Homo-oligomer: A and B are copies of this chain.
Amino acid sequence: MSSSFGKLFVVTTWGESHGPAVGVVVDGMPPGLPFDAALLQRDLDRRRPGQSAITTQRSEADQAEVLSGVFDGQTTGTPICVLVRNQDAKSKDYDALKEVFRPGHADFTYAAKYGVRDHRGSGRASGRETLGRVAAGAIAKMLLGRHGVTIFAGTVAVADVVAERRDWDVAETNPVRCPDAAAAARMIEVIEAARADKDSVGGVVEVVARGCPPGWGDPTMEKLDGEIARALMSIPALKGIEIGTGFAATRLHGSQSNDSMGPDGFRTNHAGGILGGISTGQDVVARVAVKPASSIGKAQETVNAQGEAVTIAVEGRHDPCICPRVVPVAEAMLAIALANACLRQQALAGH
């Protein structure tokens, strides 16, 4: 129940950080579409640890194996299972943490919920679970591409450093994946400073879908913004999401925030491409709040499973800022939410 997203394009991830493998099953991909294996691997590489100096140095090739649902280079309409073996799991590093609840992590809540847990490398709560999401997102992009939809994403804030520009072609040219080259340089400084201090920083990731036709999304309980919110908020470490002008819209007047229309269409996009839960045809724009990474080398006070006070420093190979690695995951989850809305609208049309 907990591991699936979507009704028509159903994504089910499975796997633990230090188990034999992680992966995903995508059920509902339409048949007869070219399967772009290179896109799949490229997105996995963008999520992969060890890509740059500012990410974790865990070394995983993350080579995807497609086990089903593709034949002669085409999708067949049957479920697509993608598997990646775990290779560089250093479970020994976690022995000391077996009985300790790391602050900011899901250790305490998993113990409370399940009683038993695979503590190695955060088990199921590891960011490694997002690998399956990224694979599924790449498949969703193959579907969306057929409908003319393109997805962009990047880090638009790190701590107090805010990007002013949205040069999406710049985003992939710097390690922080910021669409503003000048801001990127300052963001990296902030991240390096946090790491030097055995600490971490947060930020904001923006994700945009361009080319969605008007009419996607179901009103009331399955609004497009609601589904996107759910999709993005299911990514680890996110504490907020906004659409279009978002929280800043609460400080405008209606005469400002209403997007007026002319014969050429909408004149502004405060709505972020969604009205009444349905796409308007403009860019769908979402931003998510990424909390500072929970794993830090600084000493922290916490308790162990027996409720006794302990002090820990989470050593190991961690990300001082996970924004650059959230970028491909946010793209994936937006693509998955839109793929569902796309199929849903197909079901309604043409009667």
Contact = CB atoms under 8 A, between A and B. Distances in A.
B108 A214 contact: yes
B220 A230 contact: no
A48 interface: no
A183 to B, nearest CB: 14
Interface in A37-80: 65, 67-69, 71-72, 74-80
B113 A292 contact: no
Interface string A27-38: 110111100000
Given A106-B277, A230-B226, A239-B246, A4 B32 contact: no
A147 B350 CA distance: 10
A212 to B, nearest CB: 11
Interface in A220-263: 220-223, 225-227, 229-234, 236, 238-247, 249-263
A223 to B, nearest CB: 5
A92 interface: no
Given A104-B257, A159-B251, A199-B255, A123 B71 contact: yes
A65 B20 contact: yes
A96 interface: no
Interface string A268-292: 0011101111111100000001111
A68 B347 contact: no
A117 interface: yes
Interface string A101-130: 101111011101111111000011100010
A131 interface: no
A302 interface: yes
Contacts of A344: 1, 347
A22 B243 CA distance: 29
Given A233-B225, A348-B30, A351-B30, A255 B69 contact: no
23 contacts: A2-B27, A16-B69, A20-B67, A30-B351, A75-B116, A76-B116, A76-B123, A77-B116, A83-B83, A104-B271, A109-B214, A109-B280, A202-B252, A203-B250, A220-B234, A233-B243, A239-B246, A240-B249, A247-B289, A250-B292, A254-B294, A255-B296, A256-B292
